[in-house]
Structure 1
Amino acid sequence: MRTLLALALLPLPAMAGTPEVVNDHILPATDRFATAAHALADAAGADCSASALDTPYQQAFDAWMGLSHLAFGPLEQDGRALTVAFWPDPRGLVARSVRGLVADQDPVVDDPAGFAEVSIAGRGLMALEQLMADEVGDYECRYARAIATDLATIADAVQADWQDHAQLMLDAGQDGNDRYLSAREADQAIYTALLSGIEFDADQRLGRPMGSFDKPRPKLAEAWRSDRPLRNIELSLAALRDMAVALSDDPIPLTEAAFDNAQAQVAELQDDPRLEGVTDPTQRLKVEILQQRIRAIGTAIEGEIGGGLGLTAGFNSKDGD
């Protein structure tokens, strides 16, 4: 009896806010991406010049940053996440694929079903960025329209599939749910995506252009041609913060303070949107501080959210990047 009483008095892990994450974070993000992808497709259909596509392209990429960290479920299926944004790309496959299609004047760009079978490096936001960086002729115009239409199709599929997947997460542990055998499995998937997103920002979005002190590599930054490297980090942090707040039912002051510190450091770098300053020792220090502060977010999440919910990070499809 004394043992049972002692166990009853132990603090229990807080309840995870999986329903809040699903309903208030994930599903709205898929809606925003679908809307932006269709706007990009409409714009490409009307005028495929780089100047006309720039704003809808930027808006589609902005919307993508709201869900790019969800590397499980519908985005993991059929390699959709990499199809939308093929990055990191250390071997330059995007440039090679785009130039190959253009050089061959491959008619596959005029066949939506056929284009869906093209290498993922030749599709998506990164391929469109590559096209927009060069002079747009008749073939490039048709190619840009094919990419935009394909993105809208993928966005629709992700939006629809997340409606079904959301129900699986909300019904975790119920009879017939073979995907999430318990509520903890659904919590674990979200928590792993959260921590993996933080790591991806620090190790990939910052680590790749940083390279080493002796050999910085700013042109390995994500979407550098369209001035997006810093913006992508800023938007990713905002999305991950929203997800973290929704996941924990308890206040998370340490985690929020860590996000504040990182976002303040992003503000210090606003004059360097491409992170080209990694080649300058003074500016590089600011980038290193940002990387440290993003990693500090992960530490705070592990202690405050993981500890509070009794969760540890599992495998994520981004772990191998």
Structure 2
Amino acid sequence: MFRPRLLITSLAIALGACSPQDPQATTSAALAQQVILPAYSRWVDADRTLAASALAFCQGQEDLARARADFVAAQKAWSELQPLLVGPLAEGNRAWQIQFWPDKKNLVARQIEQLLDGGAPIDPASLAKSSVVVQGLTAYEYILFDARIDLADAATKARYCPLLEAIGAHQQQLAEDILARWKNDGGMLSQLSKFPNERYADAHEAIAELLRVQVTALDSLKKKLGTPLGRQSKGIAQPFQAEAWRSDASLASLESGLVGAEALWNGTDGKGLRALLPSAQKALAGKIDAAYADARGKLAALQQPLGVLLKDDAGIQRLNALYDSLNTVHRLHEGDLAKALGVQLGFNANDGD
């Protein structure tokens, strides 16, 4: 018997299957799968290399230059990840375990020396119970780069190596745990790809969080440059307040953070936040593209370390120009882009700093 109601239902299902997917859901899933997850995977690889590097260096199978290069690679991978800190890495104090910055009172050096003077055995298990100040990349950098630590001296190397190895192992374990949480059933990869779920009622909530995290990271880039520039200290430069100042990796870290933020904007194959702007917002898209290009260009033109640039007026002038460029990128995202995407940003993690 012919049943019109059944036919209508079948047609509705067929049409629903062919209907275009929510652009925000498509963008969220594409960013999760093609931008964010690969960045987390690169971070894990860098930390695996770091852990192996610590062991090889301490066993005399790797020289100090190689160990330092492996640290810089891990630092850059972490910096690139910071504009993408959604989910478990942004929770439970985990980010502090990776890097303790700003270190306004030189706590890293003080607490490392106190820990080593205590005489207790140091291994990954004991380190996990210690302060976050001594668990992360800033502590690792202190051991490898501080001018007062002569690792060519056998006794000095023997003093610091157990902690170096423990930090490397701790970073690898933490990174692998975060990546596993991302890939687990119902983890962040799934939550950013299929809606609704227990974290996001719809794709717009996911896009809003991605933009909030990106805006916070862009604000942090300004802080990482503005603090040593003396923007908060009446123009008096504070070179020892820079991120990764001992390794002269401050500007490289800044560049990696900008790369991570721009990856969220562009996406892969054009499937980023930029794709969500309607054609009427073509001018805004062009402004943001130009702002990123300007900041990248100014960074690339700085051929000297941050500490060197801070020593003369010409260097400071170039750094201030870079700061202004980063500020433009930040303000365009915080104001114009948020408004265009209908996102209420509220407070960010840097408010009150």
TM-score range with shorter-chain normalisation?
Answer: 0.7 to 0.9
Distance 1:318 1:213 in 2: 20
Question: Letter of the aligned partner of 1:135 in structure 2?
Answer: D
1:18 maps to 2:41? no
1:142 maps to 2:162? yes
Distance 1:187 1:214 in 2: 37
Question: Letter of the aligned partner of 1:289 in structure 2?
Answer: A
Match of 2:254 among 233, 252, 256: 233
Counterpart for residue 5 of structure 2? none
Deviation at 1:20, TM superposition (A): 2.0
Say whether the 8 Å CA contact 1:34–1:152 is kept in structure 2: yes
Deviations 1:251-298 (A, max 9, x none): 622111001111111123222x22442342221111111111111112
Counterpart for residue 208 of structure 1? 227
Deviations 1:140-190 (A, max 9, x none): 111100000000001101111222112112223x2xx33212222111110
Counterpart for residue 284 of structure 1? 316
Distance 1:116 1:290, change over 3 A: same
Match of 2:298 among 242, 262, 265: 265
Distance 1:228 1:60 in 2: 11
Distance 1:151 1:288, change over 3 A: same
Distance 1:320 1:24, change over 3 A: farther
In percent, how many aligned pairs have the same letter? Answer: 29
Match of 1:37 among 47, 71, 91: 47
Counterpart for residue 329 of structure 2? 297
Counterpart for residue 153 of structure 1? 173
Counterpart for residue 190 of structure 2? 167
Say whether the 8 Å CA contact 1:72–1:316 is kept in structure 2: no
Partner-residue secondary structure (3-state), 1:317: coil
1:193 maps to 2:213? yes
Distance 1:194 1:295, change over 3 A: same
Deviations 1:211-254 (A, max 9, x none): 14552111111001111111111111111111111223146221
Distance 1:186 1:288 in 2: 34
Counterpart for residue 143 of structure 2? 131
Say whether the 8 Å CA contact 2:80–2:258 is kept in structure 1: no
Deviation at 1:320, TM superposition (A): 4.4
Deviations 1:108-137 (A, max 9, x none): x22x22211110001110000111122232
Partner-residue secondary structure (3-state), 1:312: coil
Question: Letter of the aligned partner of 1:92 in structure 2?
Answer: N
Distance 1:155 1:88 in 2: 21
Distance 2:138 2:70 in 1: 14
1:247 maps to 2:248? no
Distance 1:92 1:75, change over 3 A: same
Distance 2:339 2:38 in 1: 28
Stretches of 4+ aligned residues off by more than 6 angstroms = none
1:256 maps to 2:289? yes
Say whether the 8 Å CA contact 1:268–1:286 is kept in structure 2: no
Deviation at 1:70, TM superposition (A): 3.0
Question: Letter of the aligned partner of 2:313 in structure 1?
Answer: P
Deviation at 1:96, TM superposition (A): 1.5
Say whether the 8 Å CA contact 1:72–1:317 is kept in structure 2: no
TM-score, L = length of structure 2 = 0.80
Deviations 1:46-69 (A, max 9, x none): 223633411211111121122123
Deviations 1:6-49 (A, max 9, x none): xxxxxxx9747211221111100110011111111112112236
Counterpart for residue 97 of structure 1? 111
Distance 1:85 1:50 in 2: 21
Match of 2:126 among 85, 90, 114: 114
Deviation at 1:303, TM superposition (A): 5.2
Deviation at 1:98, TM superposition (A): 1.1
The more displaced of 148-157 and 278-287 is 278-287
Distance 1:89 1:27 in 2: 29
Partner-residue secondary structure (3-state), 1:69: helix
Partner-residue secondary structure (3-state), 1:180: coil
Counterpart for residue 274 of structure 1? 306
The more displaced of 145-154 and 159-168 is 159-168
> Any stretches of 5+ residues in structure 2 without a counterpart?
1-21, 152-156, 267-271
The more displaced of 257-266 and 210-219 is 210-219
Distance 1:233 1:124, change over 3 A: same
> Any stretches of 5+ residues in structure 1 without a counterpart?
1-12
The CA RMSD measured in Å over matched residues stands at: 2.0
